[in-house]
Structure 1
Amino acid sequence: MLLVHGFPESWYSWRHQLPALAAAGYRAVAVDVRGYGRSSKPDDIAAYRMLDLVEDNVAVVRALGEETAVIVGHDWGATIAANSALIRPDVFRAVGLLSVPYAPRGGPRPSEIFAQMGGDQEFYVSYFQAPGRAEAEIEPDVRGWLAGFYAAFSADTMPPADAPAPYFASQGGRLRDRFPAGRLPAWLGEDDLDVYAAEFERTGLTGALNRYRNMDRDWEDLADFDGSPIKQPSLFIGGALDASTTWMADAIKAYPATLPGLVSSHILDGCGHWIQQERRDEVNELLTGWLASLPT
């Protein structure tokens, strides 16, 4: 099993799954995605395109002496996992998606869609586009920014529904202006935050943010896969309080066409975005149950 994390995390986000999967008899590996942690960090923004990340995953499988693997991803990792299964079905025989549903390539250029969101506010994906801009906000206080970001999208610490949305920035403002302060989510201990912060303090945020800066390039690269379904056995787990689940409700409804091999789909009540950390035992049970159902 190959486990792929999202933004802004590392292999460490799978710390609760690795021992559970091993105990169930599976060989599980969690990687640092290109640009994060101990992985390479090319200078060229284009080096973070989806096609390169898919080939990274194939290379990891081969380096471990395997021909095929089950791939599971969370957040950006879910999108990377989905495209890995789509582009290399010869390697990835099943795919699990956490938090971010599968939506086939199609429609307008992503930057055009994001620019239209939020009215006079700026959507966070657009905010991340200009090299150096988000880095200037985050890097002077990595630990504080991460704490606020994690809290903003966790079930027990996210802002109330009538508060300004933390995934938008006001004109001339910063994302962190809308983050909750002073309280960590229940799933995130001080030691856990130290692990995440230490890696980003060492590496900076540019490699991680460059994933967002390739969305239009991915749209061009993946033109041959426009509207394509993923046919392998699949799993989806989302959080009922996660904006990714509500924004992409139509993508979930389309699963009979876009994920024809879907084995099971679950929305966890009272759960936010950091699903495998917020609800580790439930996610472990769903993962191992799904794995046991797969053909050998």
Structure 2
Amino acid sequence: MSQQVTEITHRLVTSPGGRIHLVEQGTGPLVLLVHGFPESWYSWRHQLPVLAAAGYRAVAIDVRGYGRSSKPAPRDAYRMLDLVDDNVSVVRALGEESAVVVGHDWGAAIAANSALLRPEVFRAVGLLSVPYTPPGGPRPSDIFAQMGGDEEFYVSYFQEPGRAEAEIEPDVRGWLAGFYAALSADTMPPSGAPDPHFVSKGGTLRDRFPVGRLPAWLSESDLDVYAGEFERTGLTGALNRYRNMDRDWEDLAAFGGAPIPQPSLFAGGGSDASTTWLTDAIKAYPVTLPGLVSSHVLDGCGHWIQQERPDEVNRLLTDWLAALPT
């Protein structure tokens, strides 16, 4: 059902960490949109008006540590349990009892865990780019330390406090441009080139980023928005998500192997390592996501799926939402 699209509204709501900044558009059933690294509510700019026009109350947040949301100082304030609590607090602050939650990248993990831990609040879950993997298994830092041989996996690089900040913060705009380009289908390094997910000894991530060309989905003004946010906030709050992965592993141990039974959707990019490295997780969906409605891998799409292919993602989301039980 198409509705007249209202203007977007910015709001601050109270959360356990202080405040969450959100942007909302439309009226109807609540759809909560959760971004990943290194982004903001703005990564959902193409989805907000379409969801609003389809009859939903679309709400995109700045995750704790980003944008105008609070940035608590303690490193362990960015554990998964806290981010799930933030999502619940947003739903409650908006006067709603339940919501559909959709996440991209780290937001996909936050959305999945929100549905897993609080099924009475999150009645359905959409995951973009990063497949669902149930809690459990080996300690995350041990897994990442074994990847790459003589090179260092980017997650391990991000986990050391201050290290990535020293690389990024002298030139936030340039670093973000390179990072976005490195993971976009039209600008990523060609097959056989050094992998930008790894760091050589004594090097930086930026050494392997493409230079001088923005991906087609990212305009100079879009880049200005992202750079302006991180130039103001710094990167520590965002990077602290990576620095809590072992804490999450401990916090969620009681949910080891747990499936998410609510209706679910997955969409990933065929050229995105976050999707292709986890093909076994996608194959396990009949067990891990027994409520899965549909799963899609978009050929020729990179990591920033809802920005690279907004029309396709919007169609997948609206079709899935329309089929959900009310």
> Which residue of 209, 226, 235 maps to 1:205?
235
Q: Within 1, Cα distance between the matches of 2:38 and 2:237?
A: 11
> Which residue of 155, 161, 176 maps to 2:206?
176
Q: Within 2, Cα distance between the matches of 1:282 and 1:261?
A: 22
Which amino acid is 2:231 matched to? E
| CA drift at 1:230 | 0.2
* Alignment pair present for 1:20 and 2:50: yes
Structure number with greater CO (CA < 8 Å, separation at least 6) is 1
Q: Within 2, Cα distance between the matches of 1:7 and 1:48?
A: 13
Which amino acid is 1:144 matched to? G
| CA drift at 1:204 | 0.1
Deviations for 1:133-175, whole angstroms, at most 9, x for unmatched residues?
0000000000000000000000000000110000000011000
Map of 2:175 onto structure 1: 145
Map of 2:246 onto structure 1: 216
Q: Within 2, Cα distance between the matches of 1:129 and 1:267?
A: 29
Gaps of 5+ in 1: none
| CA drift at 1:119 | 0.3
Q: Which has the higher helix share?
A: 1
> Which residue of 52, 59, 82 maps to 1:29?
59
> Which residue of 108, 123, 134 maps to 1:78?
108
| SS at 1:28 equivalent | strand
Using the size of structure 1 for normalisation, the TM-score is 1.00
Q: Within 1, Cα distance between the matches of 2:89 and 2:75?
A: 20
Map of 2:154 onto structure 1: 124
| CA drift at 1:249 | 0.4
Q: Within 1, Cα distance between the matches of 2:133 and 2:240?
A: 21
Give the 5 Å matches for 1:137-286. Answer: 137-286=167-316
Runs of 4+ in structure 1 deviating by more than 4 angstroms, as ranges, are none
| SS at 1:20 equivalent | helix
| CA drift at 1:130 | 1.2
Q: Within 2, Cα distance between the matches of 1:70 and 1:128?
A: 30
* Alignment pair present for 1:294 and 2:309: no
Which amino acid is 1:88 matched to? R
Deviations for 1:29-53, whole angstroms, at most 9, x for unmatched residues?
0000000000000000100000000
> Which residue of 21, 44, 52 maps to 2:74?
44
Q: Give the root-mean-square deviation of aligned CA atoms.
A: 0.3
| CA drift at 1:107 | 1.1
Gaps of 5+ in 2: 1-30
Map of 1:63 onto structure 2: 93
Q: Within 2, Cα distance between the matches of 1:128 and 1:286?
A: 32
Which amino acid is 1:177 matched to? D
Q: Within 1, Cα distance between the matches of 2:257 and 2:318?
A: 30
| CA drift at 1:97 | 0.1
Q: How many residues align?
A: 296
| CA drift at 1:277 | 0.2
